[in-house]
Amino acid sequence: MPIALITGITGQDGSYLAEFLLDRGYTVHGLVRRTSTLERSRLQHLYSNPAIYGKTLHLHYGDLEQPINFMRILQRVNPSEIYHLAGQSHVGLSFEMAETTTDSVAMGTLRLLEIIREHPSPVRFFHATSSEIFGRPTLSPQDENTPLSPVNPYGAAKGFATQMVRIYREKFGLYLANGILYNHESPRRGENFVTRKICRTAAAIKLGQASELRLGDTSAQRDWGDARDYVRGMWMILQQPVADDFVLATGILHSVQDILELAFQEVGLDWRAHVRKDDRLMRGPESTTLVGNPEKARRMGWVPSTQFPELIRWMVKAELDSLSRAPRTEDPA
Ligand code: G4F
C-alpha cells in the first residue's frame, strides 16, 4: 500500500488530497500545527470516521520551524510520496507578515529539502508553488519556462522555494517536482480569499445575515479553477517517471467582477445594491495577467473538469446550504 505524507493537510487542498489518496488505497499521514484552537473542520468527516482515522489516516503534530520533529515523523512514516502544501498563502497578508511568510514558505521548503536529502529511502516530493512567482510577467500565458518576477513577499518566497526544488533536483538527483498552481477554489477555500468571500457574503445577504460586501479591486483578473482538479493534478505529477515541473491552470482569465455578477445572479439579487469599494482592501502592487498555459499538464492527461460559472454556482449553493444551518457570525475582510 502506498504511503503519503501531507504538510498542510487541514487546508482546502490538503483535505481534498487526503480524500483523493484514501480513495486510491493510500495510507495518508498529515502534519498538523499545534494551536490553541483545533482547526480541522475540513477533515472532520474523515477524522470522526473510526474506519478511517487511526487506520488509513494519521495526523501528527509538527511544524516546519522544527526540522528535527519533521525528521522523526519522516523516519517513522517512511512515505513513498510527500506533498508539501503548508505555508502562509494569503498574498495581501504577506505584505503585513513578510517575515512569517518568508519563513514558512521559503525556509520551510528549504528545511524539508535538506531533510529529504539525508533521508535513506527514496521518496517523491511534490511542492505546491504558485502563479504568484510570475508576478507581472512579460509573457502570457505563462508556462514552466517563464522567468520569475514576483511582486509581493509571498511570490518572492514561493519563487525562492521553487528554484531550490529545481536546484536540489539537479544537484542531488532527487525526485522533486513543482506544481505551479494558478488560483483554485471550492467551498473549502479560506473565507478571506475573494471567491469564497463573494459567494459567502452574497448568500448571507440573501438570507438576511449581512447587508453589504466590501471589496478591493474588482477589475483584477485571475485564472480560477476547481481545487479538486488541482489535487488530482498533484498526484499525477508524482506518478511521472521523471521528476519535473508542471503548470496547473485553466488557461482562461476572469475578473473579480465576473464572480460578483455570477454569485449575485445565483441568489437572485442585484450586486450594485450591495457592493462597496473599500480602499483598505486594495493591494498596492497587484500581480497582472496571471494566466497559465496547461499544455504540458494536458500531455500527461490532466484536464480541468469544471467551468468557471459552474464553480461559482457550486460555491454559492454550498454557502446557502451551510448558512441556512449555521448563520454567519464573522465579517470576512
Ligand atoms: O482570492 P485572492 O486573495 O487570491 P490571490 O491573491 O490571487 O492568491 C491565491 O492564488 C494564488 C495562486 O495564483 C496562490 F498562490 C495564493 O496562495 C492564493 O491561493 O485574490 C484574488 C484577486 C486579487 O487580485 C485581489 O486583489 O482578487 C482581488 N480582490 C479584490 N477584492 C480581493 C478582494 N482579494 C481578497 N482576498 N479580498 C478582497 O476583498
- Reading the chain (333 residues) residue by residue, the pLDDT tens digits are 899 999 999 999 999 999 999 999 999 999 998 765 556 789 999 989 999 999 999 999 988 888 999 999 999 999 999 999 999 999 999 999 999 999 999 999 999 999 999 999 999 999 999 999 999 999 999 999 999 999 999 999 999 999 999 999 999 999 999 999 999 999 999 999 999 999 999 999 999 999 999 999 999 999 999 999 999 999 999 999 999 999 999 999 999 999 999 999 999 999 999 999 999 999 878 888 899 999 999 999 999 999 999 999 999 999 999 999 988 776 655
> Whose C-alpha lies nearest to ligand 1, atom 34?
194
Q: Which residue has the cell 467582477?
A: 257
Closest ligand 1 atom, residue 181 Cα:
12
Identify the sign of the CA torsion 83, 181, 144, 239: positive
Beta partners for residue 125, in sequence order: 82, 176
Candidate from 96, 193, 282 with most ligand 1 atoms within 8 A of CB, to mutate: 193
Considering the four listed CATH numbers 3.30.565.10, 3.40.50.720, 3.40.50.9100, 3.50.50.60, the one that applies to the domain covering 3-184+224-248 is 3.40.50.720
Structural contact between residues 260 and 218, judged by C-beta atoms closer than 8 angstroms = yes
**One of 94, 130, 131, 287 is an active-site residue; which one?**
130
- Between the CA of 132 and the centroid of ligand 1 the distance, in Å, is 10
Predicted pLDDT at 287: 85
The DSSP secondary structure of 181-195, one letter per residue, reads EPPEE-TTS-TTSHH
In the prediction, which pLDDT does 333 show? 59
Q: Can you state the percent helix, strand and coil of the chain, rounding each to 5?
A: 45, 15, 40
pTM above 0.75, yes or no: yes
Q: Is 132 a catalytic residue?
A: yes
Q: Which CA distances in Å does 164 have to 111, 169, 242?
A: 11, 8, 18
Q: Which ranges in the chain are annotated with CATH 3.40.50.720? A: 3-184+224-248
The single-letter DSSP state of residue 142 is: B
Q: Where in the chain is the domain with CATH 3.90.25.10?
A: 187-222+252-292+305-325
Q: How far apart are CA 129 and CA 37, in angstroms?
A: 27
Catalytic residue among 19, 132, 185, 319: 132
Q: Which of 190, 266, 180 is nearest to 223 (CA)?
A: 180
Q: Please count the residues of the chain.
A: 333
Q: Does domain 187-222+252-292+305-325 have CATH number 3.40.50.970?
A: no
Going by CA atoms, what residue is nearest to atom 20 of ligand 1?
A: 194
How many CB atoms are closer than 10 A to CB 284?
9
Cell of 273: 445594491
How many C-alpha atoms does 333 have within 13 Å on its Cβ side? 8
Q: Which ranges of the chain would DSSP assign to H, the alpha helix?
A: 12-23, 44-47, 67-77, 91-96, 98-101, 108-118, 153-172, 194-206, 227-238, 256-266, 295-299, 308-325
